[in-house]
Amino acid sequence: MTADLYCVMGNPVEHSKSPWIHARFAQLTGQDLRYVRKLVPLGGFAQAVQEFRAEGGRGCNVTVPFKFESTALATRLTPRARLAQASNTLRFDGAEVFADNTDGVGLVSDIARNAGVDLAGRDVLLIGAGGAAAGVLGPLIEARPRRVVVANRTQARAALLIGRHSALAAQHGVALAAPEIQEVHDDFDVVINATASSMAGAAVPVAAGVLKPGTLACDLMYGPAAQGFIDWAARHGAVARDGLGMLVEQAAEAFLVWRGVRPPSAQVLAELRATLA
């Protein structure tokens, strides 16, 4: 029997740590699978998925810039993928394409399990309104913070995003707001940078006044590009965190979707940090 085949599709994809993470998950859980990278040409996502399925692929992770297209291909969507309008995990069940978004639950797991912060009752600032922010807002709301303020360079996108989540927020008793980014003057218990500012080498797009001593400040970016945000947060008394924990936790959730087994993510995160140090 050949090992079950999975991949990550993206453009670029060379930098992806997913093959390493899933190979380690498979070793630790005794699962027989092979996980490869697929560089997909822009405009070629649907064809790449078709070819991968024809090759025997059982599922794939989807990264920039295809998370929206992967949702359009799905025949079945989880509620969190539907709310995000983006998916990072596909599973091929016969003729069916099942799509999920594990980014948000990955971030919330990293904050709760690895950073040890309970989001319930907290004030949260989510910076950004792109694919990553769309993926994390629903699971953030489900963690029942007191309020979530979504601030984005283009305010209209943040307004759309909170509009889509208003019923969920009401259900969980969470206040939502989307002010102009330069109008954010309060401080927060948790600040999440879900913009591409770090990737672009740009300044953090909010004033340092959003931080107070002990604020948990997370950038979804990891590696050297996250250092500017980490230094900014630490300089202002916050507890800084990069996106590596989210990366491993979203992968663990995808592994669960595919294999029905939850891998030991904290161990794999520690090993990955040691490998990258």
Question: In the stretch 133-152, what mask flags binding to ligand NAP with x, by CB under 6 A?
Answer: x------------------x
> Could you report how far apart the first and last alpha carbons of the chain are, in Å?
37
Q: Is 67 annotated as catalytic?
A: yes
Residue 195: partners with Cβ closer than 8 Å, 6 or more residues away: 127, 128, 130, 133, 152, 153, 205
d(CA 86, CA 69): 8
Q: Identify which of 125, 129, 160 has the alpha carbon closest to the alpha carbon of residue 140.
A: 125
Question: Of 10, 139, 145, 243, which lies in the binding site for ligand NAP, with binding defined by CB under 6 A?
Answer: 243
Q: Any idea what DSSP says for residue 2?
A: P
CB of 115 to ligand NAP, least distance (A): 14
Contact between 84 and ligand NAP (CB under 6 A)? no
Question: In the stretch 172-201, what mask flags binding to ligand NAP with x, by CB under 6 A?
Answer: ----------------------xxxxxxx-
Total site size for ligand NAP, rule CB under 6 A: 28
Residue-by-residue DSSP string for 185-222: -S--SEEEE-SSTTTTTPPPSS-GGG--TT-EEEES--
Question: Of 62, 129, 217, 238, which lies in the binding site for ligand NAP, with binding defined by CB under 6 A?
Answer: 129
Question: Of 35, 59, 99, 103, which lies in the binding site for ligand NAP, with binding defined by CB under 6 A?
Answer: 103
d(CA 55, CA 46): 14
Class of residue 213 by CB neighbours under 10 A (exposed 0-12, middle 13-18, buried 19+): exposed
Residue among 73 and 146 whose Cβ is closer to ligand NAP: 73
Residue among 220 and 272 whose Cβ is closer to ligand NAP: 220
Residue among 1 and 14 whose Cβ is closer to ligand NAP: 14
CB of 220 to ligand NAP, least distance (A): 4
Residue among 119 and 129 whose Cβ is closer to ligand NAP: 129
| Residues noted as catalytic | 67
